[in-house]
Structure 1
């Protein structure tokens, strides 16, 4: 299952610093795939991806693709951001409960405010220097 990719013709304001583990996530996101690690022992998802399960400390984890579908749990708008993000304001941020039971924080891509409890979908945002992800109201 792939997620939609939105093109942005500029670099990211603050690029992530991939690790050996998270590089797999960022490479997949660039191709429109949203995935994370899942423990082979306790069956728990972790996000962001981790090489060791924080629930049972097992190092037996596998990569699993996520649906990218969820519900908006909470939201806020940031008007006064650090200097690195001053050209990004206002920043709409939300907490998303994914179908798989993971709660994540991400930017909201919206023309008008997405109401709490609305269905949302994760999208990949492809900048000139790499990807990020965000959520928008599900269509």
Structure 2
């Protein structure tokens, strides 16, 4: 499933590192796909990508594409932080539970008063120097 892409005419304040365990994730995100790692030993899904399974000592993984849908678990709005992140004022982060069973933190691109358990979709935020991902309420 291809995620919606929002183009932002600005530089990221901090470009994410891309290394051996994350390169494929960032490349796919730039194409509008959200990948999760799946342990080949126990089949557990995980995010963020890493070298060792969080459920067993397995180190072999496959990439699997998430459908980009889930549920809002929690929100927090940050009012004081590093100057680069505060350039546009307070920002909101969401904890979301993806349909695949993975919980993650994402930039919140919706109403900061959204109800918990609101259905969400992931989106790609494409900046002039890289991509991030965010979440917003699923259109009703």
TM-score tier by shorter-chain length is over 0.9
Is 1:90 the counterpart of 2:95? The answer is no
SS of 2:85's partner is helix
Within 5 Å, give how 1:94-133 maps onto structure 2: 94-111=94-111, 113-133=113-133
**Cα distance, 1:81 vs structure 2:** 1.5
Q: CA deviation at 1:115?
A: 1.5
* Pairwise CA distance, 1:23: 1.0
How far did residue 84 of structure 1 move? Answer: 2.0
Correspondence for 1:81: 81
Find the residue that maps to 1:25 and give its secondary structure. helix
Contact 1:81 1:89 in 2 (8 A): no
Matched ranges for 1:15-30 at <5 A: 15-30=15-30
Paired residue total: 139
Backbone CA RMSD of aligned residues: 1.2
**What SS does the aligned partner of 1:72 have?**
strand
Superimposed CA distance per residue, residues 7-65 of structure 1 (whole angstroms, 9 cap, x where no aligned partner): 00111111111111101100100010001110111110110012321211212210000
Distance 1:63 1:51 in 2: 13
Range that drifts further, 109-118 or 41-50: 109-118
Q: Secondary structure of 1:84's partner?
A: coil
Partner of 2:135: 135
Determine the C-alpha separation between the residues in 2 that align with 1:125 and 1:38.
24
Q: Give structure 2 stretches of 5+ with no counterpart.
A: none
Q: Give TM-score scaled by structure 2 length.
A: 0.94
Higher percent of residues as helix: 1
Q: How does 1:48-87 map to 2 (within 5 A)?
A: 48-87=48-87
Give distance in 2, aligned partners of 1:19 and 1:102: 22
Distance 2:111 2:75 in 1: 14
